[in-house]
Structure formats: C-alpha cells, structure tokens
Copies of this chain bind each other. A is one copy, B any other.
C-alpha cells in the first residue's frame, strides 16, 4: 500500500460487511479468516476488531443485515422462489442470508442464538404459507432443503445441480415444496408482466 487509504470509517465498515457477506457465503464461517475478509475489503484486519469487536460479531452483523433486507423486500409467497433463485442465479445478489447463516456449522451456543433469531423470522414467514397444524415443522423442512441445495452444489461442483438451469430446478422443487407449503409461488417472469 504505497498510497495510504483515505479515512472513512463508514466506508471501511461497509467494505468489511460486504467482504464478509461474500466470503461467509462462499466458504462458510470456519474457512473464512479475518485476514481474508480484511484483504478483500482492502483494509487492515485490526479495523475489523475495532469496528465489530470479533469475527463472530461481524458474522452476526452480516446475517442480520442480509436477512433483514430480504424479508422486507419479498412478498411471502415468493420467498422460497427468491431464495432458490438467489443461490442458483450466479449474478443475482439474491437472498444469501440463509446459507450464510446455516453454512457455518458452528455448534456453540452463541452462534446458535444468532442463527436462531433470524432463523425464527424466516420460519415465521414460511410457516404462514400453509394452513397445516405443523406449519413450523414444514417451514423448517423447506429451509433445510434450500440450505442443502446450496451445499450440495458447492461440494459437488461439476454435476447437474451445479450447472443446472434455475428454471429446471424450480420446476422440480416448487411442486414438491407445495406439498408442504401450499401457498408458495414462483416469481412471475418478465413476459407475464
């Protein structure tokens, strides 16, 4: 760094949040180091600790930010389709909150609490998509599927699911999801508008 960075704490914080969001989503919590995050953000790693206090607190901030945005933006019955397209469409900056959150296979109770809170928001939203008595269980199962799709795609990078046309995946998944949450809908395509 021959040129010292201009001082702008808000920009530094934003850069760290963006970098962390992307890296946590790509690699999961454990395999994302604070050095990686700082490097991608273009800041010194000490700033991460100054502004967020710890790696874990940064994680919580990322999850909270990502999830809040999506839940505010999506009509409920489109939520599943948005989450799926968010992970299937490479360019899309769709909903990554769920995979970011659950991709960290942390077992500690603090992380669990963090996940739990936002998770509850998603579960509440999904539970409202069915009139069945075991709505919460169904919501969890649907959430689990979305998470699983993300993980299987990344691990088995060269098979049909990784390279799948998102419409093909949606065509398989949504009818199945509807056996659980009957109000789920796909996003209207442009030609429908």
Contacts and interface: CB of A to CB of B under 8 A. Distances in A.
Contact of A107 (B27, B145, B177): B27
> How many monomers of this protein are in the complex?
2
Interface stretch (A38-46, A52-60, A64-72, A155-163): A155-163
Contacts of A168: 134, 137
Interface string A126-144: 0000000010111011011
Interface of A: 26-28, 30-31, 101-103, 105-107, 112, 115-116, 119, 123, 134, 136-138, 140-141, 143-149, 151-161, 164, 168-169, 172-173, 175-177, 179-180
Contact of A151 (B141, B147, B159, B177): B147
B155 A115 contact: yes
A148 B144 contact: yes
A102 B147 CA distance: 12
Interface centre among A103, A172, A175 (most CB of B within 10 A): A172
A151 B112 contact: no
A30 B168 CA distance: 33
